[in-house]
Chains A and B, each alone.
Chain A
């Protein structure tokens, strides 16, 4: 197989140094840390600069880099205005809510604990399963495999395997300290290189006028090209864009965010972390969306060959970045994946070690056994991630599935549990979470096996009479039903749970 981008030996050196440094940090912290709280919660001492790095880089992985640029490639500025802006809005909301969670649950470790303590074991187990499946690093593993394939031409699954081994090794050894320390470096690498690519690439094609010319060539007419500069226009239906926007609700029930909130030194540090993080998220979103548009225009201008949407970003950057800087860009792209993957491996491990083993199966378990269970959970998650990476074809498809799962299962019990003034009914959380989890999985299984594959739209469609429902609409249908179930059961049920 041929590589899409050719690298200089200096670029490879930069990438190797970067990987070596990540592994060194993992081993360093494995020697220094003491106890499980140090391993899983970084001693609850994260301050604003560390929080900014870990919050931004964790939530922005390759799904954002390639997913948003893919949407930009096809949809134009809708990638930012219809897809990314709802996320920004919810980061702002989270900036106010996150300190409140820390104040209410100063000794908390995971989001699932809130569901467990407020609604009992059944709800705790349902939200834990959703958090575990959400935390599988399918997209990141696909992304690393894809990047290594692009730069070396190696088979996709070998690249996936190499990525998984590197990330698991330093997360396994160093825990949250290693994750946050490496996240910051990864945060700088991914932000700076995307910013550089934006400025250099946009300028090189001649700015907006050059991009406009390229889009006319690529689409074949001025009428089609102008759609790239109209929010909400493009090949996706309005409801699909609404469904993509609804995935932003995952920000409110993001297990990795909760782990960092609880690991923060104080509520004030969390507020600062989000306040600095929001402009970073916003600028990163803008850059990757517009790099997608730039990719489409560059094909029209014959600057890059006719590549797939998700390869365009790499091809355009490879065209303009100088030797050495290209290596930093590749390291930045890998950083994007690794900073997300390490956090979610740790979160997935925590679901097994903390949520299921310590909180449900064996509350008096020794710390070292909890740590061992956490590490086993991490390994299983890595294996599951690699397996799923072979099954899915589109990065956006994976993200919408995972967001649907966590939003429909965890959002309602966690927020009603945390913020309701009156005690909530045990059965309400269990029914809502259980319905959300089973309905989400059922929806995806049903649409995959009994839906019709649309060649035009590249999605599964469920037909109910004249009604055509895309697989992506699951989040819009299941979430309101779960809410109604919650409200009804909460009104009729009697038993409440004594919160711990």
Chain B
């Protein structure tokens, strides 16, 4: 019975890397959107 190939390692590390890098990559856009919304809320509160 052959041992499984080490290709699985590559996929596991890729999946781990995407899980870490993916959300971090869009954090900037999140803060940009969030700050715009907060500004709108503040403007509305000041009305």
Interface residues of A (CB under 8 A from B): 32-34, 45, 47-50, 52-53, 177, 181, 184, 187-188, 191-192, 194-196, 198-199, 202, 207-209, 212, 222-223, 225-226, 229, 276, 279-280, 282-284, 286-287, 290
| Closest chain A residue to B28, Cβ basis | A49
CB contacts (< 8 Å) of A45 on chain B: these are 37
Complex Cα spacing A194 to B17, Å: 10
Complex Cα spacing A204 to B45, Å: 53
CB contacts (< 8 Å) of B17 on chain A: these are 195, 199
Which are the 8 A-B pairs with shortest beta-carbon distances? A195-B19, A198-B16, A286-B15, A195-B20, A283-B18, A199-B16, A49-B29, A222-B1
Interface residues of B (CB under 8 A from A): 1-6, 8-9, 11-20, 22-24, 26-27, 29-30, 32-34, 37, 41-42, 44-45
Complex Cα spacing A195 to B27, Å: 16
Complex Cα spacing A207 to B16, Å: 13
A/B interface sample: 22 pairs, CB < 8 A: A47-B33, A49-B29, A53-B23, A184-B30, A187-B23, A191-B19, A195-B15, A196-B16, A198-B12, A198-B16, A198-B19, A199-B13, A199-B17, A199-B20, A202-B13, A208-B3, A209-B3, A226-B2, A226-B4, A283-B18, A287-B16, A290-B15
Least Cβ–Cβ distance between B29 and chain A, in angstroms: 4
Complex Cα spacing A265 to B29, Å: 15
> Given contacts A184-B30, A208-B4, is CB(A283)–CB(B15) below 8 Å?
yes
CB contacts (< 8 Å) of A222 on chain B: these are 1
CB contacts (< 8 Å) of A229 on chain B: these are 4, 8
Main secondary structure of the interface of A (DSSP, over half): helix
Complex Cα spacing A34 to B27, Å: 27
CB contacts (< 8 Å) of A47 on chain B: these are 33
Complex Cα spacing A456 to B3, Å: 29
Least Cβ–Cβ distance between A222 and chain B, in angstroms: 4
> Given contacts A50-B30, A208-B9, A280-B22, is CB(A202)–CB(B16) below 8 Å?
yes
Select the residue from B16, B18, B19, B32 with max chain A CB neighbours within 10 A: B19
Verify B23–A32 contact, CB threshold 8 A: no
| Closest chain A residue to B42, Cβ basis | A32
A286-B12, A287-B19, A290-B8 given; name 11 further pairs at CB < 8 Å.
A32-B42, A33-B41, A191-B22, A195-B16, A199-B12, A202-B12, A207-B12, A208-B9, A226-B1, A226-B2, A283-B16
| Closest chain B residue to A289, Cβ basis | B15
Complex Cα spacing A218 to B9, Å: 20
CB contacts (< 8 Å) of B15 on chain A: these are 195, 198, 282-283, 286-287, 290
CB contacts (< 8 Å) of A181 on chain B: these are 34
Complex Cα spacing A83 to B23, Å: 24
Least Cβ–Cβ distance between B43 and chain A, in angstroms: 11
CB contacts (< 8 Å) of A212 on chain B: these are 3-4
Least Cβ–Cβ distance between B40 and chain A, in angstroms: 8
